Structure 1
Amino acid sequence: MRTKVAIIGSGPSGLLLGQLLTKAGIDNVILDRVSKDYILGRVRAGVLEEGTVGLLDKAGCGARMHEEGLPHDGFSLAFDGRDHRIDLLGLTGGKRVMVYGQTEVTRDLMEQRERDGSVTIYEASDVEPHDFDTTTPYVTYRTDGISHRIDCDFIAGCDGFHGPSRKAVPERAIRVFEKVYPFGWLGILAEVAPVNHELIYANHPSGFALCSMRSPTRSRYYVQCTLEEKIEDWSDDRFWDELRRRLPAHHAEALVTAPSFEKSIAPLRSFVAEPMRFGTMFLVGDAAHIVPPTGAKGLNLAASDVYYLFEGLQQFYGERSSAGIDAYSGKALARVWKAVRFSWWMTTMMHRFPDTDEFDQKIQEAELDYLTHSRAASTALAENYVGLPY
C-alpha cells in the first residue's frame, strides 16, 4: 500500500489530522492496534479550548458538538469554604471553552472519516515505523497473521505515551523531561445533574476536588487520593461523603448522588519529549507530552500539535516548501511548555502534597485569594485556560 501520510493511532489527534488532510486532498491511512469499539469505550476529558473547537469545525466535524456541547463562560475556584468565579468571557474579550466529551469528539471524527471513505485499519498488531531518517519511510503491521507494509512520505506518531513511534527513536536522539506527582485522581461518572452549571476546582486541607460534567444529566467528579488507594476500598457512599467534605457548604448541600457506572484512579505526571520531529516522522499529542488534567490541556495540546503539523504538510504538498514541517517541533514545543507550566502551576496550587503543612495550606489560600481578587492575575489564568493562540 502507498499513501502520503501514514498516521499511527486513531485517537482524537490521529483522526483530526487525518480528517484535515483528507479535506485538503492529501492521502492518508490511519492504523490502530485496538478495535473501533474499544476506542469509543474509553472515557476521557472533555473541556475544549476555542482553538480545538475551531479545528473541529475546519475538519467538518463540529455540528453535533455545537448542538450538544456545553459552552462555558467561566469556572469556579473554591477554597477556605468560599466560591469564586473566574469570568473567562469577560477577562479574555469574549473567549470561552466548550464541554464536550473526548469520546464524542472521537465518534464525530470516525463517522466523518467513514463517510469520506478514508482508510482506517483497526486491530493492527506489531505496528512499527521504519527508515524515518530517510526520504522513503514505511510502516509495517500485521492483521490476521499476515504482514503488511505501507510506504509513505511521512509518518505521524499519534499513538500515545505507550505507542511504537517514540519507542522507535534511538535514545541518543531524544531527550525526556518528566515530573511524577505523589498523588492521583479518583474519578467517577454518574447519571446525575451537575452540582453547578460550570466546573468547580476546590482546594481543601483534605485534598483537591473537581466537579465537572459530560452533559446536563451526566456528571464527572474527582477527589485527590494517594497512589496507594484501591478502587475496591472506595464505595460510592464513601466517595460522595468525601466530595461533600471538600466543597463549600452550599455546593455540598446541592449535590445530587446516584450509583456510579465508572470509577477509576489516574496518577498525575508531566512528561515532555524533545524534539518532536525525527526526519520524516513527527510525534503528536501524548506520544510527545503528557500533562496533569488540572489545567484541561491534554486533548487541547494534541489539537495544537495537529494544527502545526497540518499547516506544515499542507505547505509541503501545496507549495513544495518544507518550511512548515521544519518549524513543527519548535512551534509545537513552545506552546507545549507553556501549557506544561500552566498545568504544573494549577496542580501545585490546588493539591495537598505529602509534606504540605498548615503554613503551606495558608500560602495556597493566600495565592488563591490574590488570584481571585486581582484582575491582572485572573486575566492571566483565564487566558491560559481558554487556550493560548497558535
Structure 2
Amino acid sequence: MELGLLVPGRHGNLYDFSEDSIEDIRWIHKLKEMGFLLKEIQKVLSLRRTSNWVEPQEIAEYLILLDKKKKSLREDIENIKDEIARIEEEEKSFTIETAGDKVLVGVPLKALEYLRCPFCGEAFAVEQVQMNSRYIYNGKLACACGYALEIRDGIVLSPGAADEADGGADLEREKYKDLPASVVTMLQRSYNFLLHRVSGLQLYDRVVMETDINEFFYLYTHFRKIENHVLFIITDRYPQVLRMYKERIEYLKLDLDILYLADGSGDYPLKKESVDLLIDYFSSNYRETARGESMHRQIFKYLKRDAEITGCYFSGKAGERQFDKMQFLEEMKENGYALIKERIIDCPVEVGKENRLLMYESRKEDA
C-alpha cells in the first residue's frame, strides 16, 4: 500500500478491498513467483491499470519486461554458479590447510632461566626429559626444596593447576560465539588500541605475559603482528585450555617461543622481575570475579621495574558483580603504576548502557 501496489478504498479507519484489489494481490503474487522485485511489480501494475491488456503496445512493453527479467535471472544463475565454484575452491583450500602438518613445539629451552621455585626462588633441575635442541616436550623440573613441575606435551603443569575434570574450561570458546555485532565491534576497538600500544614498544628479546586465557585470549589472534624474537608466557589454571590453544597455534606454524604454564594459584613458578610487558585482557575482571582478589598484588612481583602493562578493564555491573574503574586505577597507583594512556568507551546496550570499557597503558612511576 505504501508503494501503491494496492490501492483499496477507505471507509473511516477501515480499508475496503474490492475485487480489483483482490486481482492486484493475485498479480503481485504471480510476479513475485517469477522473481520480480516490488518496484518492478509496480511498473507492471501501472501498465495493467492503464490498459485492458488488448493494446498491442502495452502487451509488447509487458513482454519486454518479461524478457528483461528472464535475462536478468539467467545472469543471476551464472553469477550464483560462479559464487558456488568460488565457495568450493575456498572449501578445498581450508581442507588442505587444516589437514596439513602442524609444527609440534614444547617448552622453549630459553624459558628455563625464567622458571623458579615459588617458595625458595631457586632454579629447577631438569629430569627425565624428552627434548630436542630447542624444546622440552616431556619431563620433570625439580627443586631441591621438594617443589616440582611436570612437563607434559610441551605444557608446564604446576601443583596449582586445576583438575582436568573441572568443568569450567571453555574448550568450545563459547564466550566468542554468537556475540552481537556491536560487541564484536567493541572488542575490535580494544584490539586496535592494544595493538597500537604493543607495536610501539621495543620487544626484541623481551618477555611478554598474558594470564587467564580461559576468559579472553588477546595474543591468540595477534601473534603474527608482534615481534617474534620474544618469549611469550601464557598462563591459565586449566591445562586443557592451554592444550587446546597450543594445538591450534601449532597449526599456524609460527616460529615463536611460547611457555604454556598451567597454574591457578597465582604464585607462579616464575623468576621475580622478569616480565617486560603484561597484557591484561580482562584478566583483572576475571580475578575479581573468580577469586575476589586484585590481579595487581599477585602479578606485579613478576614485572621488571621498567615493565609496562596494557589491557582492558570492564567497568560497571555484570550479573551481581560490580566492577569499579576508580578502585582499579587506585590499586594500580598504590602498586606504583601510573597511566600513560587511557581511553574509555561506552559499552553497547547488549552489555549494559551504563557500563564502560577502560583501555589503558601504564608504567612504573619511577621507571
- The bucket for the TM-score relative to the shorter chain is under 0.3
Q: Which has the larger radius of gyration?
A: 2
TM-score after normalising by structure 1: 0.23
Greater RCO between the two (CA within 8 Å, min separation 6)?
1
TM-score after normalising by structure 2: 0.24
